[in-house]
C-alpha cells in the first residue's frame, strides 16, 4: 500500500502541490484527473523521487519511500512518463534492455517475452530506431520499457495522449490486464477523465495543486461537478 500524507512539493520556491492525501491500496487502479497545469505530473514525479517533497511524507508498505529516483525503481515503483520519453536513437530492443537493467538474465528474457506478447507491434519493430516509431508505437514502447522492471506499482502519466481510437483501446486493455492478471497497482493520470474514471477503483480530482473531489470511479462519473467540468469534452472513451 502506498500512502501519501499531507504532501507538499514543487519546484524551488514554487509550491505546486498543497496538502495532498491519497491512499493507494495494493492491486487497485487509482485515477487522478485534472486540467492542464493542475499538478498531476508533479504528483507522479514526487512519488518517483524526481521532485523533492517539501512537507509531508509518502509511505510504501509502512516505510518512507526512498528519496532517490533509482531507489524508488528498485522498490518496485516505476513511472511511465508523459510524452513517451523513450531513447530515440536506440532500437526498440535496446530500449527494453534499458528498462530491464535490474533483472537477472533469465528474468530479463522472460519479461521481454511477456512485453512482446502484450505489445506484438514491438516485436515487429524490434530492431527499428525508437525515434522513428509512430506516436502510438512510442507510447507502447514506453509502457513496455516500464514493465521490463516488473513493477509492483506503475505510475502512468497520460497514456492515451495523442493515440488514435484503436490504439487508445489497446493501451487501456493492456493497463487493465497488468492490473487484473499481474496484480499490479496502478496510478493513472489522465486527461481523458471518462476513461480514467471508468477504469479506476477510486479517483481524485486535482485543481491548482489540491484535491477537491474524491470517490470511487463510479461515484465521480455521477458527480455533477465532475460531469460539468471534466466529462463534457472527453473523446474516445
Ligand atoms: P498537464 O496535464 O498539462 O501535463 P499537469 O496537471 O501534469 O499538467 P504539472 O505538469 O504537474 O501539471 O504542472 C503543475 C505546475 O507546475 C504548472 O504550473 C507548471 O508550470 C509547473 N511546473 C511543472 N514543471 C515545472 C518545472 N520543472 N519547473 C517549474 N515549474 C514547473
Residue to mutate (ligand 1; options 42, 52, 192; most atoms within 8 A of CB): 42
pLDDT given at position 3 = 98
Residue the block writes with cell 493542475: 38
153-157 sheet: strands from edge to edge = 77-80, 153-157, 185-189, 29-33, 202-207, 210-216
> Whose C-alpha lies nearest to ligand 1, atom 11?
39
From the list 132, 158, 164, the residue with the least C-alpha distance to 175 is 158
Cell numbers representing residue 18 in the block: 498543497
Does the Cβ of 16 fall within 6 Å of ligand 1?
Answer: yes
How far apart CA 144 and CA 100 sit, in angstroms, is 10
Q: Measure CA 103 to chain center.
A: 21
User: Any bridge partners for residue 124, and if so which?
Assistant: none
> Whose C-alpha lies nearest to ligand 1, atom 9?
39
Residue the block writes with cell 505546486: 16
Reported pTM: 0.91
Does the Cβ of 34 fall within 6 Å of ligand 1?
Answer: yes
DSSP classification of residue 228 = I
User: Any bridge partners for residue 129, and if so which?
Assistant: 91
Residue the block writes with cell 493501451: 171
Q: What residue ranges do the domains of the chain occupy?
A: 1-76+152-237, 85-150
pLDDT given at position 141 = 92
- The CATH architecture assigned to 1-76+152-237 reads 3-Layer(aba) Sandwich (3.40)
Does the Cβ of 52 fall within 6 Å of ligand 1?
Answer: no
> Whose C-alpha lies nearest to ligand 1, atom 19?
37
pLDDT given at position 168 = 83
Does the Cβ of 40 fall within 6 Å of ligand 1?
Answer: yes
Residue 51 alpha carbon, nearest atom of ligand 1: 27
Residue to mutate (ligand 1; options 8, 12, 32, 41; most atoms within 8 A of CB): 41
Cα(189) to ligand 1 centroid in Å equals: 13
Q: For the chain, 237 residues long, give each residue's pLDDT as a single digit of tens.
A: 999 999 999 999 999 999 999 999 999 999 999 999 999 999 999 999 999 999 999 999 999 999 899 999 999 999 998 766 889 999 999 999 999 888 888 889 999 999 999 889 999 999 999 999 988 888 889 999 999 988 999 999 998 887 888 888 888 998 999 999 889 999 999 988 999 999 999 999 999 999 999 999 999 999 999 999 999 854 444
pLDDT given at position 234 = 46
Residue 189 alpha carbon, nearest atom of ligand 1: 7
Does the Cβ of 36 fall within 6 Å of ligand 1?
Answer: yes
> Whose C-alpha lies nearest to ligand 1, atom 18?
37
Residue to mutate (ligand 1; options 9, 11, 45; most atoms within 8 A of CB): 11
pLDDT given at position 237 = 46
pLDDT given at position 236 = 47
Amino acid at each position: 500500500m502506498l500512502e501519501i500524507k499531507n504532501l507538499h512539493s514543487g519546484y524551488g520556491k514554487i509550491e505546486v502541490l498543497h496538502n495532498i492525501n491519497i491512499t493507494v491500496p495494493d492491486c487497485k487502479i487509482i485515477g487522478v484527473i485534472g486540467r492542464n497545469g493542475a499538478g498531476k505530473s508533479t504528483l507522479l514525479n514526487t512519488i518517483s523521487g524526481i521532485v523533492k517533497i517539501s512537507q509531508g511524507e509518502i509511505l510504501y508498505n509502512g516505510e518512507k519511500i526512498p528519496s532517490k529516483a533509482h531507489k524508488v525503481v528498485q522498490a518496485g515503483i516505476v513511472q511511465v512518463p508523459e510524452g513517451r520519453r523513450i531513447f530515440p536513437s536506440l532500437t526498440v530492443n535496446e530500449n527494453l534492455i534499458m528498462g530491464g537493467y535490474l533483472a537477472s538474465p533469465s528474468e530479463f528474457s522472460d519479461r521481454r517475452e511477456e512485453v512482446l506478447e502484450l505489445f506484438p507491434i514491438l516485436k515487429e519493430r524490434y530492431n527499428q530506431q525508437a525515434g522513428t516509431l509512430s506516436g502510438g508505437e512510442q507510447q507502447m514502447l514506453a509502457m513496455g520499457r516500464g514493465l521490463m522492471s516488473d513493477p509492483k506499482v506503475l505510475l502512468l502519466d497520460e497514456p492515451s495522449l495523442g493515440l488514435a481510437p484503436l490504439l487508445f483501446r489497446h493501451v487501456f486493455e493492456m493497463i487493465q490486464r497488468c492490473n487484473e492478471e499481474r496484480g499490479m497497482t496502478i496510478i493513472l493520470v489522465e486527461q481523458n477523465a471518462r476513461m480514467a474514471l471508468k477504469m479506476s477503483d477510486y479517483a481524485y480530482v486535482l485543481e491548482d495543486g489540491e484535491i477537491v473531489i474524491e470517490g470511487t470511479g463510479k461515484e465521480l462519473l455521477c458527480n455533477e461537478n465532475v460531469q460539468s467540468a471534466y466529462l463534457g469534452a472527453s473523446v474516445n472513451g
